Amino acid sequence: MAAVSPLAPERFPDMPAVDGVRLATAAAGIRYAGRTDVLAVLLDPGTAVAGVFTRSKCPSAPVDWCRGKLKGGKARALVVNSGNANAFTGRSGVAATKLTADITAKAAGCKPAEVFLASTGVIGEPLPAERFGGVMDGLVQGAAPGCWEEAARAIMTTDTFPKGAAAIARIDGKTVTICGIAKGAGMIAPDMATMLSFVFTDAPLAPAVLQSLLTKGVEDTFNAVTIDGDTSTSDTLLAFATGAAAARGVPRIARASDPRLEPFRKAFNLVLGNLAEQVARDGEGARKLVEIVVEGAASKKAARKIAMSIANSPLVKTAIAGEDANWGRVVMAVGKAGEKADRDKLSIWFGGIRVAHKGARDPGYDEAKVSAVMQKPEIELKVDLGLGKGRDRVLTCDLTKAYVEINGDYRS
């Protein structure tokens, strides 16, 4: 196991149980013997489900399974395995998802169509789904509320720390709970979510409302994170609303436009944002968390594209790893993004210190001050194009030798 990222939170957060959600983990031997590699989540009847998935044209078999079952709007179980992504596995991958769902449904007393699946790990290796049969009955019988840290650890691959976040929100003045976990450290350039993330709430929400919250919520959270520019075949973000808070008098929300939903929406987005940032903090080999802010662009869409161009540039990321405020590489990344830019209006800041202005090095540039900023573990890189009001921000990390070592050794 790699050393814990220096950007990791000090500890796993305190996360309350969510009514209607029970969790359990086990070691099924999916890829390695003796390693916890399966998470099962049991959900009360009536639980609503929503999801967003990778836009990769080569999705995993579990992604296809979940897409096909999402239209039902209801879930009774979630099964996640690490060690094997069940991606690029052909007919055997499809059969493995069906077998996993059948095994789970039998143990949980529900329909296979109410079972949602996710897998993470090596791409291209058949998933030995029959191994779920050896642990599923025990998982169902031993499932308990609030086992969030164990759940987050069970879905880790190259992650160096488990990722969790929670929030308390109010609907019509009454309290509801939101808890989420995530995994991801490499192959991260989400086109909807991250590699895997799961969010649970006891709020009584219609499936369409939950889907609306999720689709909008990922745009400035998970979709605004990149580690290496590679979008996974397995990106899955599922949200589950058990509705158990209705027993405490919380009203059911049937429309996404209901004004009573607003405090919940803010809390929900905070959980997504927290999880997304933890993914950036755990970038493979990362030593620095980098927030890239682009202002003065022609539009928000243009600002996002430019910010991502900077964030995904190996030259920018390696310069930051070397603690070098190399604004020339930032200029390069802005120029290649394909969006409107004017070299002679461009200004660039590292850590609040302007290093370039109006197309040239800032006349007040001080090497010592900038070097001190670049030694910090968290750095803001800001660009102002001077063209309009478009603004956006994305999170990334530096690119170190350790990233190459981790990925050079990963499958072998």
- Residues 130-146 have pLDDT tens digits of 999 999 999 999 999 99
C-alpha span between 162 and 182 (Å, rounded): 8
Among 3.60.70.12, 3.40.640.10, 1.10.10.60, 3.50.50.60, name the CATH number for the domain at 21-281.
3.60.70.12
C-alpha span between 347 and 258 (Å, rounded): 42
C-alpha span between 329 and 340 (Å, rounded): 18
Predicted confidence (pLDDT) at residue 110 exceeds the cutoff of 50: yes
Q: E strands of 242-344, at which residues?
A: 289-297
Average pLDDT over residues 348-352: 97
* This model's pTM is above 0.75: yes
Predicted confidence (pLDDT) at residue 193 exceeds the cutoff of 80: no
Whether 78 and 50 have beta carbons less than 8 Å apart is answered as no
**Coil, strand or helix: which one is 255?**
coil
User: Which residue would you say has higher pLDDT here, 47 or 232?
Assistant: 47
- How far CA 243 is from CA of 45, 113, 155, in Å, comes to 9, 20, 26
- How far CA 309 is from CA of 226, 280, 343, in Å, comes to 10, 16, 16
Predicted confidence (pLDDT) at residue 188 exceeds the cutoff of 80: no
Q: Is 106 annotated as a binding residue?
A: no
What is the predicted pLDDT for the residue at 230? 83
Q: Is 183 annotated as a binding residue?
A: yes
C-alpha span between 190 and 28 (Å, rounded): 28
Residues with a known catalytic role: 194
Domain 289-409 adopts which CATH fold? Ubiquitin-like (UB roll) (3.10.20)
What is the predicted pLDDT for the residue at 189? 72
187-196, 264-273, 357-366, range with greatest mean pLDDT: 264-273
Q: Per-residue confidence at 406, pLDDT binned at 50, 70, 90? A: confident
Structure tokens at 344: 């002679």
Question: Could you give phi then psi for residue 179, rounded to 5 degrees?
Answer: -135, 140
What is the predicted pLDDT for the residue at 192? 55
C-alpha span between 17 and 20 (Å, rounded): 9
The residue to which tokens 């080999």 are assigned = 285
What is the DSSP-derived secondary structure letter of residue 114?
G
**Nearest Cα to 227, choosing from 194, 182, 250?**
194
Predicted confidence (pLDDT) at residue 51 exceeds the cutoff of 50: yes
Predicted confidence (pLDDT) at residue 1 exceeds the cutoff of 60: no
Q: Is 407 annotated as a binding residue?
A: yes
C-alpha span between 350 and 331 (Å, rounded): 13
Domain boundaries, the chain: 21-281, 289-409
Do domains 21-281 and 289-409 share one topology? The answer is: no
CA 269 centroid distance within chain = 12
Residue-wise pLDDT for 276-317, tens only, equals: 999 999 998 999 999 999 999 999 999 999 999 999 999 999
Residue-wise pLDDT for 366-405, tens only, equals: 999 999 999 999 999 999 999 999 999 999 999 999 988 8
Whether 317 and 400 have beta carbons less than 8 Å apart is answered as no
- How far CA 312 is from CA of 64, 196, 227, 305, in Å, comes to 28, 20, 7, 10
What is the predicted pLDDT for the residue at 78? 98
**Nearest Cα to 58, choosing from 96, 87, 78?**
87
What is the predicted pLDDT for the residue at 412? 46
Residue-wise pLDDT for 17-46, tens only, equals: 999 999 999 999 999 888 999 999 999 999
Structure tokens at 290: 């980098």
| Amino acid sitting at position 13 | P
Q: Is 367 annotated as a binding residue?
A: no
Q: Is 81 annotated as a binding residue?
A: no
| Amino acid sitting at position 314 | P
**Coil, strand or helix: which one is 195?**
coil
b or e along 110-137 (b: 16 or more beta carbons within 10 Å of the residue's beta carbon)?
bebbbbbbbbbbbbebebbbebbbebbe
What is the predicted pLDDT for the residue at 408? 83
Predicted confidence (pLDDT) at residue 91 exceeds the cutoff of 50: yes
User: Which residue would you say has higher pLDDT here, 73 or 403?
Assistant: 73
Residue-wise pLDDT for 144-168, tens only, equals: 999 999 999 999 988 999 999 999 9
What is the predicted pLDDT for the residue at 220? 96
Average model confidence (pLDDT) across the chain: 95
What is the predicted pLDDT for the residue at 134? 96
| Amino acid sitting at position 27 | A
C-alpha span between 377 and 362 (Å, rounded): 24
Burial class (CB in 10 A: 0-12, 13-18, 19+), 388: middle
- How far CA 33 is from CA of 26, 83, 97, 151, 165, in Å, comes to 11, 11, 21, 18, 29
Q: Is 396 annotated as a binding residue?
A: no
Residue-wise pLDDT for 253-276, tens only, equals: 999 999 999 999 999 999 999 999
C-alpha span between 350 and 366 (Å, rounded): 12
Whether 73 and 254 have beta carbons less than 8 Å apart is answered as no
